[in-house]
Amino acid sequence: MPRIDLENFITGIPKAELHMHLEGSIEAELMFELARRNSVALQWDTPEALRAAYHFQDLQSFLEIFWAGCAVLRQEQDFYDLTMAYLRRARQDNVRRAELFLGLQSFTLNGVSVKTVMDGVLRAFDDAARELGVSAALMVIAQRHRSEEAAFALLDAIEPWLPRIAAIGLGGPELGNPPSKFAEFFRTCKQRGLRVVIHAGEEGSAAYVREALQLGAVRIDHGNACLDDPDLVQELATQGVPLTVCPLSNLKLRVVADLDRHPLKRLMDAGLMVTVNSDDPSYFGGYIAENLVECQRALDLSPADIITLARNSFIASFMSAHEKAAALEEIDRYVQEHARGAG
């Protein structure tokens, strides 16, 4: 490929986002707007003061602010506004498909009904498809610091919406909460024909990634720690199990000390199906294109690497085979047009 402006190339290439928590996309200004709307007190005086608090020592220190943001979401319109704000921002990065996590337990325990949440989110999905050309899908996560009984209660609560839920996941603080804690829950999900995705190998060890694989996860969210187990890496590569990697999140939560030490390129070189995602972009200072741009600079990714990551994002998605083929053709056209322009 001729010499190109990589930053513009990265922003413009069609892409899918597969690991983004809706609650983690609430920008400081929207948090304050919703707090006023719902008469919720925040401990910060201004959006600027809130953003100044985004210096995290670990996952737990992040989650304390994350859950404060969840507390301002109360009405159907709140969830609609949150979802549309993310999808509009994602469209600026030419995200054509967004598969988004939602931790319903954070809201139901605050007295918000499942119907309130789902009606707002799914209405935004429908409007985004029509107005923005972004296809969106929802993944509901069970929070791993809660009990398996609570996960089963969640599954019962979302029963009416299962046709519109793409997968059931597991998220939250890893340490002390291995995937095997939810073994029966995920067996039940699989028996009911539901896809399973599991956060593993961010804070947790390679053993957590192996457990997630054994429980039938069709995608591993994060998965960095798999590199500590060469046999596991080979299994993941042979089975083509995607990893939804979140580099700026890993940097902000001190999973890696510097971005140039991030394992993204080593995961790619090991033959793994790797994707790049933003995780909780408002808190970690980067949406999907920024994650790719910063990784390109830190890890010296080539244009071919960027194309591979973009293609992987659609291949690893839950789109239909026809939709995936169309998205990959769109990438091919984009690359060809960009090459002609650069030439």
Residues marked active site are found at: 202
Q: Is 45 exposed, middle or buried (0-12, 13-18, 19+ CB in 10 A)?
A: exposed
Q: Is 15 exposed, middle or buried (0-12, 13-18, 19+ CB in 10 A)?
A: buried
Give the angle 236-143-312 at the CA atoms, nearest 5°: 30
Angle between helices 28-38 and 76-92 (to 10 degrees): 170
331: tokens are: 């990438």
3-class SS at 203?
coil
Q: Are 27 and 283 in contact (CB under 8 A)?
A: no
Query: What secondary structure does DSSP assign to 303-341, as a single string?
Result: HHHHHHHHHHHHHTSS--HHHHHHHHHHHHHHHHHHHHH
